[in-house]
Amino acid sequence: MNLILLGAPGAGKGTQAKFIAEKYGIPQVSTGDILREAVAKGTELGRKAKEFMNQGKLVPDEIVIGIVKERLTQKDCEKGFILDGFPRTIAQAEALDKIMGEMGKEIDAVINVNVPEEEVVKRIVNRRICKKCGAIYHLIHNPPKKNGVCDKCGGELYQRDDDREEVVRERFAVYKRSTQPLIDYYKKKGILYDVDGTKDVEAVRSEILSILGKIKA
């Protein structure tokens, strides 16, 4: 299954993508995670991306498209994949269509997770992430058992550099301007599925699973 998870910052893309990836045995391809890893390692890509990310702006299309093209042609994506945070512009969506065409593949479904701005701000400012395994926590909705420590691997929890409120507001504005047009883009192709992302993690998960069940059949 080749899937896209669409949604505002903090909509729950990463949370749900990890679950779907595990359940279907397909890799989660998160451009945000790939870019953050490059920043942490201080590679050339990371140096280029860091400033855009910390301001809540999009990293230029040609950089992200190159990353995704390379990633999707790796062997573990043969059985399918779940894109989290890509595409984010019409140019990226068109480039993805081209990449898929070259590989003789298609996107099967685009899951659009809907959450309003005030809710995403509340979610993001209370988010914590494991440095070691990437597990996602929320200080109120999904707190770790021990303060600052990952339940799954004992790793240290941290707050992303771009998770300050003013940057989150900018990320949301960028989402509305550049990414929201993708909803129509995929609606026209007949592969868009809307999900109410304001429900709790489990409820959103089962809504997505029921959609995927119908697609597979």
Annotated catalytic sites, by residue? 13, 88, 127, 160, 171
Q: Kindly state the smallest distance separating residue 149's Cβ from Zn ion, in Å.
A: 9
Task: Pick the binder of ligand AP5 from 2, 13, 45, 212 (CB under 6 A).
Answer: 13
Return the residue nearest ligand AP5 (CB atom): 32
Task: Pick the binder of ligand AP5 from 35, 111, 130, 212 (CB under 6 A).
Answer: 35
The answer to the question of residue 32 lying near ligand AP5 (CB under 6 A) is: yes
Q: Kindly state the smallest distance separating residue 145's Cβ from Zn ion, in Å.
A: 12
When CB distances are held under 5 to 8 angstroms depending on the partner's kind, the choice from Zn ion, ligand AP5, Mg ion, none that residue 133 binds is: Zn ion
Q: What is the chain written as a DSSP string?
A: -EEEEEE-TTSSHHHHHHHHHHHHT--EEEHHHHHHHHHHHT-HHHHHHHHHHHTTPPPPHHHHHHHHHHHHTSGGGTT-EEEES---SHHHHHHHHHHHHHHT----EEEEEE--HHHHHHHHHTEEEETTT--EEETTTB--SBTTB-TTT-PBEE--TT-SHHHHHHHHHHIIIIITHHHHHHHHHT-EEEEETTS-HHHHHHHHHHHHHHHH-
Q: Footprint of ligand AP5 on residues 103-162 (CB under 6 A)?
A: 123-124, 127, 136-138, 141-142, 162
Site of interaction with ligand AP5 (CB under 6 A): 7, 9-15, 31-32, 35, 52-53, 56-59, 64, 85-86, 88, 92, 123-124, 127, 136-138, 141-142, 162, 171, 200-201, 204
